[in-house]
């Protein structure tokens, strides 16, 4: 180790040596421990019904509760557990505390042939998002493209839920949202921007589709938290410490550091991810006139309205060259049948990992939740005096 340390001519190379050495030591300490019997199988319909029961119990309008239920269980069905039932307590709390409006509907503030500006009226994010998506689809049918931008919105869950709705209508869909500041601009010390996710979905033949749904940061905060809990280092490129330096220590990221934009350090193109994060903010907060950038509330700060900005685009492929789904299928096939790299077994396209997870859920007759989550949900049910979530018989 120290041979290499002294051979290294740059500070960053020396730092890399130390980090690598620590990584080796920690890897030896760490063993995974997840037991099969920690899992509980719940039918999708029961999971949805449970979310609805909770939300209605705290006073949410039944149709709003239904939108949220469909969205959260869709996330779990697709394997994005961080954005599913796991977040239910947050939505319940937002409604219960009055930070989120229980009732009302989004309203259109301004409209042109291909666009609309919407006030979400502080109702649940999925209600705003579905409203805007359906409006964008309607406009795309008439004008070839529809773009709807909303202010006054809230957490909208997985960005892919909205774009898949477009794909089901035969359209290309795009969605974007701003989020609380967590991402450090290239060369900066502290977070200014959010993980600002984007999604693009496009329909192919026979029900197949491309569904990209990604944060513009290298990883989501949850992954850093997970490594911190397990006491294992994070890969170099996920986060920075409180001085804006690359770190592999997850607690340094969580304590005054920040997430890196996609690409990581500048030499690996991190400034592009930083640009993308800012681009999403422009399409959301800056166009919408909502909170934006460093002015978006911290995601744990519940006393003020979120006033998030979001953007939804639907594109009608019939406005362009005929035969779109066929070409989509060909492109996806070219990627999927590409020869795997040494050590890999298959090449996927965006949406395939989710499809694999959905197949598993279908075969098992339900989604698998960890017992800890079930216990939290049982506690929530008791608290709200509603029927708890029933596992598969």
CB 314 within 8 A of CB 145: yes
**256-295: which residues touch its own copies (CB under 8 A)?**
262-264, 267-269, 271-276, 278-279, 281-283, 285-289, 292-294
Shortest reach from residue 74's CB to its own copies, in Å: 19
Nearer to its own copies, 272 or 297 (CB): 272
Inter-helix orientation angle 44-57/62-77, to 10°: 140
22 binds its own copies per the rule CB under 8 A = no
**158-187: which residues touch its own copies (CB under 8 A)?**
172, 184-187
Nearer to its own copies, 288 or 377 (CB): 288
Nearer to its own copies, 96 or 189 (CB): 189
Angle, vertex CA 208, rays to CA 202 and CA 209, nearest 5? 25
Residues in the interface with its own copies (CB under 8 A) total: 108
Q: Which of 106, 125, 126, 146 binds its own copies (CB under 8 A)?
A: 146
Give the binding range for its own copies (CB under 8 A) out of 4-12, 95-103, 153-161, 382-390: 4-12
Nearer to its own copies, 8 or 70 (CB): 8
CB 200 within 8 A of CB 210: yes
Shortest reach from residue 91's CB to its own copies, in Å: 26
Shortest reach from residue 116's CB to its own copies, in Å: 8
Cα–Cα dist 117/143, whole Å: 16
Nearer to its own copies, 60 or 261 (CB): 261
Phi and psi at residue 200, to the nearest 5°: -135, 125
Per-residue burial over 281-300, b = 16 or more CB atoms within 10 Å of its CB, e = otherwise: bbbbbbbbebbbbeebbeee
145 binds its own copies per the rule CB under 8 A = yes
Q: Which of 78, 143, 135, 142 is nearest to 105 (CA)?
A: 135
CA dist 226 to 203, 254, 295, 360, Å? Answer: 34, 11, 27, 24
4 binds its own copies per the rule CB under 8 A = yes
**182-221: which residues touch its own copies (CB under 8 A)?**
184-190, 192-193, 200, 202, 210, 212, 214, 218-219
Binding mask 218-257 for its own copies (x = CB under 8 A): xx---------------x-xx-x--xxx------------
> What H or E segment, with its residue span, contains residue 42?
strand 39-42
Binding mask 99-138 for its own copies (x = CB under 8 A): -----------x-xxxx-x---------------------
Phi and psi at residue 170, to the nearest 5°: 80, 10
Nearer to its own copies, 279 or 388 (CB): 279
Nearer to its own copies, 320 or 387 (CB): 320
**310-349: which residues touch its own copies (CB under 8 A)?**
315-317, 319-324, 327-328, 330-331, 334-335, 338-344, 346-349
153 binds its own copies per the rule CB under 8 A = no
User: Sign (positive/negative) of CA torsion 35, 40, 43, 49?
Assistant: negative
How do beta strands 239-240 and 258-260 pair? antiparallel
Nearer to its own copies, 92 or 328 (CB): 328
Cα–Cα dist 62/32, whole Å: 41
The rounded radius of gyration (Å) of the Cα atoms in the chain is 22
Cα–Cα dist 214/196, whole Å: 9
**54-93: which residues touch its own copies (CB under 8 A)?**
none
């Amino acid at each position: 180790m120290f041979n290499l340390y002294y051979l290294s001519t740059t500070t960053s190379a020396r730092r890399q040596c130390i980090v690598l050495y620590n990584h080796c030591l920690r890897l030896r300490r760490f063993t995974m421990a997840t037991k099969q019997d920690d899992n509980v199988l719940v039918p999708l319909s029961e999971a949805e019904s449970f979310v609805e029961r909770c939300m209605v119990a705290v006073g949410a309008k039944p149709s709003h509760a239904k939108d949220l239920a469909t969205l959260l269980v869709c996330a779990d069905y697709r394997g994005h557990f961080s954005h599913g039932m796991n977040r239910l307590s947050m939505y319940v709390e937002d409604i219960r505390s009055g930070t989120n409006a229980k009732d009302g509907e989004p309203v259109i503030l301004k409209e042109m042939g291909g666009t609309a500006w919407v006030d979400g009226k502080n109702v649940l994010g999925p209600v705003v998002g579905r409203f805007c998506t359906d409006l964008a689809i309607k406009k795309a049918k008439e004008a070839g493209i529809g773009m709807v931008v909303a202010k006054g919105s809230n957490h909208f869950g997985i960005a892919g839920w909205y774009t898949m709705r477009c794909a089901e209508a035969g359209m290309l869909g795009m969605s974007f949202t701003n989020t609380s500041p967590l991402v450090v601009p290239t060369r900066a010390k502290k977070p200014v921007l959010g993980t600002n996710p984007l999604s693009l979905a496009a329909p192919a033949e026979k029900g197949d589709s491309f569904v990209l749904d990604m944060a513009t940061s290298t990883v989501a905060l949850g992954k850093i938290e997970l490594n911190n809990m397990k006491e294992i280092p994070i890969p170099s490129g996920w986060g920075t410490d409180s001085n804006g330096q690359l770190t592999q220590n997850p607690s340094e990221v969580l304590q005054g550091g920040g997430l890196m934009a996609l690409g990581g350090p500048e030499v690996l193109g991190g400034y592009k991810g930083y640009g993308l994060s800012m681009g999403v903010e422009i399409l959301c907060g800056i166009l919408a006139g909502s909170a934006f950038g460093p002015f978006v509330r911290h995601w744990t700060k519940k006393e003020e309205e979120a006033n998030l900005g979001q953007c939804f685009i639907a594109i009608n492929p019939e406005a362009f060259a005929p035969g779109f789904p066929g070409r989509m299928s060909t492109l996806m096939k070219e990627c999927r049948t590409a020869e795997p790299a040494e050590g890999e077994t298959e090449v996927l396209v965006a949406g395939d990992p989710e499809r694999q997870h959905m197949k598993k859920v279908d075969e098992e007759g339900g989604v698998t939740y960890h017992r800890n989550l079930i216990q939290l949900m049982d506690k929530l049910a008791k608290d709200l005096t509603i029927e708890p979530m029933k596992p598969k018989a």
